[in-house]
Chains A and B, each alone.
Chain A
Amino acid sequence: MIHAWRLRATIAAMGLLLAVFIGRLFSLQILQGELYSNLADDNRFDRVSLPAPRGVIYDSNGSLLVRNLPAFNIYVTPALLPDSEAEIEAIYIKLADLTGVPLDQPGPPAAPCVGGRGIRQLVEEGATNRPFDAWPVACDIDETTARVLRQQQIDMPGVSVEAVPVREYPTGNLTSAVIGYLGPIPAAQVDFWESLGFLADRDKVGYGGVELNYQDILAGQNGLKLVEKDVAGSLLAEVGPGNSAVPGNNLKLTIDTRLQAITASALENRMEFLNRFAGEVRTTIGSVIAMNPQTGEILAMVSIPSYENNRLARFIPQYYFRQLSEDASRPLINHAISSEFPPGSSFKMVTAVGALNEGVIDPKQTLFDPGQITIQNAYFPNDPGQAKEFVCWKEDGHGQVDFIHGIAWSCNVYFYKIGGGFEDEVSGKGLGIDDLGVYARALGYGAPLGIDLPGEEDGLIPTEEWKRLNLGESWSTGDTYISAVGQGFVRGTPLQVLTSVSTIANGGRVMWPHVVQEVLDGEGNVVHRYEPCVLWDIADGILMEDTSEIAAGCDSLDPELRENIIAGHTVSPDITVAPGVLELAREGMRLVVEDEEGTANPYALLDGISSGGKTGTGEFCDETAFSRNLCVPGNWPTHSWYTAFAPYENPEIAVVAFVYNGGEGAVTAGPIVKQVIEAYFELKAIDAAR
């Protein structure tokens, strides 16, 4: 017999265990019940993101520049495949036949839609992960194959064909600099985008141009639905109402595709002609911008070389992207806004407006251009060896030159004298580098203009301090001379050169340059209009106190872009020009074209349309030129610039053309601008006749 106490002890142990278990159950089920209920719900409920269709983009006439096309992907859901190995094999063989994806090819695991592995490997990977999910085995197959597969789908359980939207750019590389392209969400930014409701593996985001800058408007808002799933991922039911996806809005650009095409071919032809004429690849970079000077609306923007954004639409091919990134002429950069060049004589308009407004020169007063002038070194005034000569582009000189002919003939010596002073010919020491900077900024140089495209550069207006800090040298009168003619350290983007001229053309308003005019909803209603916007006005007689007043009250301008402009200025760029100053500057520009001696007269005189313009021949010696031994002292290679507006009386178009290493401004760039302006008025006539 067992001792009674030993039995009692056993029963006591039993009771103790029971108490422990019930206590633990109480703790788990009653005290922490809610926590575990939530965990159980997390297990079975899944948030499914519903993709929002991305908005499309129209040009100013309503032609589509971007649209969404279906791309067909083939998926296999491993759990739905037939049971028999032979039937599965038959399905694999048929898929391999139709799509060209190899049947059996081992390879390292990769992201969906990246090739390298066979159908069998792809399905096996899916089967071991989530067998009830559809796994892509072939991506972006052609539509015919997709249709054939859809018909045969009934005999192939587990195989499905789905259309996913991809971007198509009907105008391709003609507009790629403006439109940009899409790419996958970068791994480093996954958290940011997912917090906005994007799905990293599926959704794409803007990588350039309007696609990037207007990402928020185009993308819309992904929807969300709550579904119940079992452990294998098989969908059981939809739970709750969820949110449906909000489609992205559409954009209407200010770009006129017809003008864009003409502009592009004018630039291309001219560059090709130049290269053929030179018998070598002389120029690879060029840019033309056409803008309405009254509104800041960009009518055409061409940057050469360009890239084919359709080739980046479905996925980004590595070899093509590498080719684009490694090209020395940088096709992925929009040279119209993101590249800085010496503006050359185009910059003389800054000196002209400044000198006249500051009273450095009387417009009637003539200065003598002997072809070259010599200035003594300030520190060695009696040593002729230290003296430096400054030449005019015309070796014999222009003789006696007044204000408007100084512009018309682009007389270097005239601008040296009014810019930096010469003996006692002009009042004081000329305009001087400080005031030159003030007027350059007032006309749009030296800071971003806030265009609604990514990557705008700010150019460079040197100051005495800048030279001391960056080169460790003191500023000299010679520096002022070459700055006054847009050489030396001065840099500007084509957009800045255009803005300076269009500001003079429109009577002093620095307009906000922009490429998007309207946001449209799916039915074509205007959701938002980007009204023209004055950044500052140099002729309104009102002086801005400080930079925060730039574009104040300008609702169209994105706050972030406005911040960029403000950050580019330390003091207000606004000035007050006296009445008549801009008119005289315009008059000079008219003579550039219409005077028989005008620098643009033989190349850019328009047929039946009045215009004003300014040529520019910007000497440069960059790495490319240096490595090709082109930097011969006194005979540097030159960029070709021409900027013009028309009609002269009431300008409605302003155009800048820039050709890298294009030689003399008027010769190369002049005809391009002429073609663009003439085409603009022809298109206007055609539209009016309709």
Chain B
Amino acid sequence: MQASAKIWRHFDVWLLATVALLTIAGVAMIRSAIANNPELVELNVVGRQAIFGLVSLVLLLATAAIDYRLWSALSRPIYVFNLLFLALIPIAGVVGFGSARWFQLATVTIQPSELAKILMIIVLANFLARNRDRIHELRTILRSFALVAVPAALILIQPDLSTAIVLLVIWLALVWAAGARMSKLAILVAVVLLVAIVLTPLLVNYIVQGYPAGEDFFFLRNYQMTRLVNFIFPNPEESFGATYNVEQALISIGSGGLLGQGYGSGTQVQLRFLKVRHTDFIFSSMSQEFGFIGATIFLLLIMFVIYRCLRAARMARDGFGSLICYGVAILLLFQASFNVGMNLNLLPVSGLPLPFLSQGGSSLLTILLGIGLVESVMLRHKRIEL
């Protein structure tokens, strides 16, 4: 660790400022979204989110202060800790909304699968950086896949399909960024296609018999199939059923117009026609209250954050740091795109939170820890400090 305070000259203030702004905007947006929900107000969801945000910002700075190369050395314990943490869930987890994803620590609930995202970025970045020379070998790619497959499987059985997908996307992106040949990745794609060909008859059989009977399709639960079906074939008769949330989200966004209905004045939000408006559909809440201008500014800000992460990836002094920054950028890009796409009814409904905005402490903490890592890389991007 460099003791010198000089390294702080390289601290990316723009990144931190934008992140802090987005975090504050998130707390404010959550406040508006739950204003007319007495139960959530009583639970002090806003206050808790604000405290989480503050603690996370402190942790961000702490992470930035710690030399990221330390994590490279600790990669193996981190991986083991991650697996243990995830494996404990079925034993000691708290069940909520039909799946066990949380640990209860005093008054704070912690979601290990969120932390797993950042931990796996470190583990994968370390592995790929160490195996740069052999990155063109299929063996390396498969080994790295084995690394991510175990936690992904543990998350999948919670069940939490979307987080498992996030891990796989991060893996794919990092392998690609590490320099894997396109031809190797094409082999992977071929494998996926092969699996799809094997699965298709099974899927057809399932749609004909299993789905109407309420059965699950392997790891895809029946409700997840319903979401997919509703996205692909929306049923116009069913406006109070499964398509309700998506329809209300579109109404919320569309009725925002150019300038929005104003903070705390969105009718869809305040009169609670929009569901899960403080988590999955907070982008719709924001779009109604702040309009096209507000939503566009938000998108530009979050893309700016991602851009700064990619910039850090370019400037990093070593492969490990570079891959960490790239992983964090992809994490943000994928989650933000998927959530916004879902809000805009471009993608099927999933439980992926919107970075910075969606209510939820673990998600916020994960993202800010990721930013902390990026800052840590930035602080130390010059080889020699004079």
Contacts and interface: CB of A to CB of B under 8 A. Distances in A.
A37 interface: yes
Contacts of B306: 14
B329 A10 contact: yes
B326 interface: yes
Interface of A: 1-4, 6-7, 10-11, 13-15, 17-18, 20-22, 24-26, 28-30, 32-33, 35-37, 39-41, 43-44, 228-232, 236
A148 to B, nearest CB: 33
B90 interface: no
Contacts of A231: 271-273
Interface in B249-305: 250-258, 267-268, 270-273, 287-288, 291-292, 295-296, 299-300, 303
27 contacts: A1-B319, A3-B179, A7-B314, A10-B330, A14-B307, A15-B303, A18-B300, A18-B303, A21-B341, A24-B344, A26-B292, A29-B254, A29-B292, A33-B256, A33-B258, A35-B254, A36-B251, A36-B253, A40-B252, A43-B251, A43-B268, A43-B273, A44-B273, A230-B36, A230-B270, A230-B272, A232-B272
B209 to A, nearest CB: 32
A173 to B, nearest CB: 47
A39 B253 CA distance: 11
B266 to A, nearest CB: 9
Contact of A230 (B179, B271, B288): B271
A2 B314 contact: yes
Contacts of B176: 6
A2 B251 contact: no
Nearest to A22: B296
Interface of B: 36, 176-179, 248, 250-258, 267-268, 270-273, 287-288, 291-292, 295-296, 299-300, 303, 306-307, 310, 313-314, 316, 318-319, 322-323, 326, 329-330, 333, 337, 340-341, 344, 346
A659 B262 CA distance: 79
Contacts of A2: 177-179, 313-314, 319, 322-323, 326
Contact of A37 (B257, B287, B299, B307): B257
A36 B299 contact: no
A10 B319 CA distance: 17
A207 to B, nearest CB: 34
Contacts of B329: 10
Contact of B287 (A4, A18, A29, A44): A29
Given A2-B177, A24-B344, A44-B267, 7 more contacts: A2-B178, A20-B346, A25-B299, A28-B344, A29-B254, A36-B254, A40-B267
A22 B257 contact: no
B182 to A, nearest CB: 10
B287 A6 contact: no
Nearest to B313: A2
B258 A40 contact: no
Given A14-B307, A24-B344, A29 B256 contact: yes
Contacts, number: 125
Contacts of B291: 29
A538 B319 CA distance: 116
A39 B267 CA distance: 11
A32 B326 contact: no
Contacts of B292: 25-26, 29-30
Contacts of B300: 18
A35 B257 CA distance: 10
Among all A-B residue pairs, the 8 with the closest Cβ atoms? A36-B254, A40-B255, A230-B271, A29-B292, A231-B272, A33-B257, A28-B254, A37-B255
Contacts of B272: 230-232
B379 to A, nearest CB: 18
A41 B257 CA distance: 14
Contact of B313 (A7, A33, A41): A7
A480 B185 CA distance: 107
A25 to B, nearest CB: 5
B154 to A, nearest CB: 28
Nearest to A230: B271
B321 to A, nearest CB: 10
B344 A30 contact: no
Given A10-B329, A14-B333, A29-B253, A40 B268 contact: yes
B326 to A, nearest CB: 6
A228 B271 CA distance: 9
Contacts of A21: 299, 337, 340-341, 344
B344 A6 contact: no
Given A14-B333, A231-B272, A33 B254 contact: yes
A54 B15 CA distance: 71
A25 B287 CA distance: 9
Contacts of A6: 176-177, 179
Nearest to B256: A29
A61 B22 CA distance: 81
Nearest to A37: B255
A35 B251 CA distance: 9
Contacts of B310: 7, 10-11, 14
Most chain B CB atoms below 10 A, which of A10, A11, A37, A232:
A10
A39 B314 contact: no
A640 to B, nearest CB: 63
Contacts of B250: 28, 36
A30 B257 CA distance: 6
A4 B326 CA distance: 12
Contacts of B314: 2, 4, 7
B241 to A, nearest CB: 15
A230 B268 CA distance: 9
A20 B314 CA distance: 26
